[in-house]
């Protein structure tokens, strides 16, 4: 028997053992329409209350509690120059915010020359973004704002709680994903005073751990007209319950919650209690099905604003299988709201990266949703008769606009 076949069979054996030992909870993705009292949402006007219910759960169990919006954000331009034969402007801006302006970080702004209002892409990464991608986005009339995190919320096992975010707000339970999302929202605060920014066309994006950040920001900041996590995997749009590669559940490598939150890895991204639902080796499901939410709920919390996922089919860590079914389940909420065209996924060959093909599809989706342009790329939206798996619940039959 091939080694891979034995491993897959062993994982299934372990799962069946767990179920036979008394675990009778479903491993299907949770129903986004199910209220806390066991009844179901029936009308579109009830979705806002349901969304707030899930946001409270995520705050208490997943991301931690974030501080409210500060009373001001002050920006100080410290560098400015022309790029690409003066077709674009680059600015380095230092933002000051929080109590006594204790939180400070740099934002790198790339925008077309002129003050015409633009669609704005907010993404972490400092000044290290791919120049080809930046130039393509700006040449298409988009402003890209890339912010630094190391000073305010370092991505570091030892220093994560020594940045200015944690020090300025010690009374809050937030962990690093929430801190990075909060910083993205402060960039949007600053955009509100900029003449080049169209505040109805703000996009928050990121890849891998920063894709997880983008999802968190989109859930809690409704100014994000489109949320675009790429390769976000565990802690993002990859299902916590169901994992696998392009070949299906339990095949290939996919990071599970118990692995991600180990003390020698990324325990500081989410609240401590989340690690208890997984195992340190991540070989099979453990208690993930006891959670009242999964990645489909995270995606549904964006609805009916835009949601776009970019995934590499050969990405061994972002849970391609679990991301697909989470997207399908979240897209059910969009279908119920007659907004299927605002929830999309883009697949490509290749691994764990956020490349020009991904950005091309993401920008195409954004222009299509926000500006009404014709679709140019092969991103996918849910269609009638879609083949589904991972859940058996149906959308409510009764709906009003």
pLDDT band at 24 (very low <50, low <70, confident <90, very high): low
pLDDT of amino acid 105 = 98
pLDDT of amino acid 283 = 86
Average confidence (pLDDT) over 53-63: 98
pLDDT of amino acid 8 = 37
Residue 9 has pLDDT above 60, yes or no: no
Q: Which residue has the higher pLDDT, 134 or 115?
A: 134
Q: pLDDT for 166-182, tens place per residue? A: 999 999 999 999 999 99
CB neighbours of 42 closer than 8 A, spacing ≥ 6? 396, 398, 399
Residue 276 has pLDDT above 90, yes or no: yes
Angle 47-61/209-220 helices, nearest 10 degrees?
130
Longest dimension (CA), the chain: 68
Average confidence (pLDDT) over 153-166: 98
pLDDT band at 246 (very low <50, low <70, confident <90, very high): confident
> Tokens 């020698």 — which residue?
264
The side-by-side arrangement of strands in the sheet containing 306-312 is 73-83, 88-97, 103-112, 142-147, 118-124, 197-207, 226-230, 306-312, 343-348, 380-381
Cα dihedral across residues 298, 303, 306, 312: positive or negative: positive
Query: Average pLDDT over the chain, rounded to whole?
Result: 92
pLDDT of amino acid 359 = 98
CA distance 326 to 337: 17
pLDDT band at 123 (very low <50, low <70, confident <90, very high): very high
CA distance 42 to 202: 30
Residues 23 and 17: beta-carbon distance below 8 Å: no
Residue spans of alpha helices (H) in 103-150: 131-139
CA torsion angle 235 239 245 249 (round to 10): 150
Give the burial string for 381-390 (b: 16+ CB within 10 Å, else e): bbeeeeeeeb
> Tokens 């891979």 — which residue?
4
pLDDT of amino acid 321 = 95
Nearest to 172 by CA among 90, 103, 80: 103
pLDDT of amino acid 361 = 98
Name the E strands within 55-157. Answer: 73-83, 88-97, 103-112, 118-124, 142-147
> Tokens 């080694």 — which residue?
3
């Amino acid at each position: 028997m091939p080694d891979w076949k034995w491993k897959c069979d062993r994982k299934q054996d372990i799962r069946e053992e767990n179920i036979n030992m008394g675990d009778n909870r479903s491993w299907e993705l949770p129903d986004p329409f199910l209220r806390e009292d066991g009844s179901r949402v029936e009308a579109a006007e009830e979705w806002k209350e349901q969304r707030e219910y899930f946001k409270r759960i995520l705050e208490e169990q997943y991301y931690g509690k974030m501080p409210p919006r500060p009373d001001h954000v002050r920006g100080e331009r410290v560098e400015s120059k022309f790029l690409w034969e003066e077709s674009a402007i680059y600015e380095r801006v230092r933002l000051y915010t929080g109590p006594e302006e204790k939180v400070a970080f740099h934002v790198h702004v790339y925008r077309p020359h002129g003050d015409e209002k633009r669609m704005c892409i907010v993404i972490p990464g400092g000044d290290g973004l791919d120049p080809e991608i930046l130039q393509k986005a700006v040449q298409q009339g988009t402003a890209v704002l890339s912010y630094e995190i190391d000073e305010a919320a370092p991505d570091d096992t030892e220093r994560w709680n020594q940045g200015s975010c944690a020090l300025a707000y010690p009374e809050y339970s937030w962990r690093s994903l929430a801190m990075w999302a909060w910083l993205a929202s402060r960039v949007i605060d600053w955009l509100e005073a900029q003449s080049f920014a169209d505040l109805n066309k703000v996009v928050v994006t990121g890849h891998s751990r920063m894709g997880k950040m983008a999802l968190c920001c989109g859930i809690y900041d409704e100014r994000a007209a489109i949320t675009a996590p790429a390769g976000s995997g565990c802690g993002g749009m990859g299902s916590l319950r169901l994992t696998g590669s392009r070949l299906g559940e339990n095949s290939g490598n996919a990071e599970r919650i118990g692995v991600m939150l180990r003390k020698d890895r990324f325990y500081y991204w989410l609240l401590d209690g989340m690690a208890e639902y997984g195992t340190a080796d991540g070989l099979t499901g453990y208690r993930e099905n006891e959670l009242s939410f999964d990645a489909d709920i995270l995606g549904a919390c964006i609805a009916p604003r835009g949601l776009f996922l970019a995934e590499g089919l050969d990405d061994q860590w972002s849970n391609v299988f679990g991301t697909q079914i989470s997207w399908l389940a979240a897209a059910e909420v969009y279908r119920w709201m007659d907004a299927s065209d605002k929830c999309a996924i883009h697949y490509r060959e290749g691994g764990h990266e956020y490349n020009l093909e991904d950005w091309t599809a993401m920008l195409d989706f954004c222009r299509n949703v926000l500006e009404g342009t014709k679709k140019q790329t092969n991103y996918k939206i849910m269609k009638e008769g879609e083949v589904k798996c991972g859940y058996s619940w149906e959308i409510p039959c009764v709906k009003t606009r």
